[in-house]
Amino acid sequence: MIRARIASVIARKREEGIKITQAEIAEKMGVSPQQMSAWVTGKKVPRLETAFELAHIIGCKVDELYERIPN
């Protein structure tokens, strides 16, 4: 099972000094704030293509956005 860790990655990036809001990320990605919120809260998991774009915007590796949970 795969779980998104988007909220923790965004929080860590903010601690590192990157100043970007969920709304700004959503706008840059061309998605609704509601969609971004669903990814951040873990209600939905972004597709791989979308995750690459998100990683580029916030300055992380794609694998940082996900966590594998053993069965």
CATH of the domain at 13: 1.10.260.40
pLDDT of residue 67: 87
Structurally, how many domains does the chain consist of?
1
Condensed to tens digits (0 to 9), the pLDDT of residues 2-40 reads: 788 999 999 999 999 999 999 999 999 999 999 999 999
DSSP code string of 41-58: TTSS---HHHHHHHHHHH
Condensed to tens digits (0 to 9), the pLDDT of residues 46-58 reads: 999 999 999 999 9
pLDDT of residue 71: 80
pLDDT of residue 69: 85
Model-level pTM? 0.85
Range of the domain at 32: 2-68
